[in-house]
Structure 1
Amino acid sequence: RLAHMPPRMQRVVTSITKHDWFKDYETINGVGDALDNIADRIRFANQFTGAAEDIKRHYNQLDAAFLAFFPELIAHVKEFNTERT
């Protein structure tokens, strides 16, 4: 669907696939690097830099919250897709 995207989004999506960004998100350090990069680009004050340390410190709580949330997300997507067909 690249042709349907605005030019800037086309460049981002092309970079995502070419450089396999999602592979970097397999590790906490990879997610931390991504958040550090976002922090550098955001035009307002933020505290994203160093977020990997927060993730490591609160990993068990974040993991539990995600595991509770994910089945709800799957159910919602299934319901959304059913309504669209």
Structure 2
Amino acid sequence: MNFLAHFFLSGKDDHLMVGNFLGDYLNNAQVSQLPPAVQKGVALHRAIDSYTDQHPEVLKGVRRMYDRHSKYAPVIIDVFYDYFLALNWSTYSEQPLSDFILDAYACLKRHHHLMPEPVHTYVPKMIADNWLETYATHNGIAYTFRRMSHRVSRPELLAGALDTMVSHFQELNTEFNAFFPDAIRHAKAFVKQVAPPQ
């Protein structure tokens, strides 16, 4: 899953949220320099990713789009699932999405000093361009894939990703809503059971 879902699955814990955000950007040596509670957030991020990659509902969507998007199918699903979380937000949270997003940005600002380059540089752009809210719109999803296309080795495989989502909208929405309650339970169990590194 992408940023919005990872933030949501961190609950209201600042340390988990910032660690969860940093999970894809740090090597193990960098992680070991973080406060233990933030390290737990990184571990949560990786546990969520591992669980997501193996979930049968997620794999349905990945298989459906593999012919068109090949190795980027799982990455595309991650972005789609942020869209579907925004779409179904009131099912999973009593807090308005706009308020949640402001809280997430405030958390990133409070912990900006923990972030290495280039993350330290692009977080202000992320906030200024309101990436989290753009996931709730088709234009925002298209913008996300355009941004990603500059960082991947085969950008042509991202072409038409939004069309893929529109074409399989109902199936993807159904699969997301079958998967996400399981992801919530998994994240809560991880947080409860795993102590921060010492």
Match of 2:119 among 3, 6, 9: 9
Runs (5+) with no aligned partner, structure 2 = 1-110
Counterpart CA distance in 1 for 2:133 and 2:155 is 28
CA contact (8 A) 1:31 1:52 kept: yes
- With normalisation by structure 2, the TM-score equals 0.40
Consecutive unaligned residues of structure 1, counting only runs of 5 or more, are none
Q: TM-score, normalised by structure 1?
A: 0.85
Structure with more contact order per residue of length (Cα contacts < 8 Å, sep ≥ 6)? 2
- Which structure 2 residues correspond to residues 74-85 of structure 1 after superposition, within 5 A? 74-84=184-194
Aligned counterpart, 1:61: 171
Q: What is the percentage of aligned positions where both structures have the same residue?
A: 26
Which letter maps to 1:40? H
Q: Which runs of 4+ in 1 moved over 6 A?
A: none
Partner of 1:48: 158
Per-residue CA deviation, residues 10-46 of structure 1 (Å, 9 max, x unaligned), is 1122211122111111112311221122123312354
What is the aligned-residue RMSD (CA, Å)? 1.6
1:49 partner letter = A
Return the alpha-carbon distance in structure 2 between the equivalents of residues 15 and 50 of structure 1. Answer: 25
1:27 corresponds to: 137
Distance 1:81 1:22 in 2: 24
> Equivalent residue for 2:36?
none
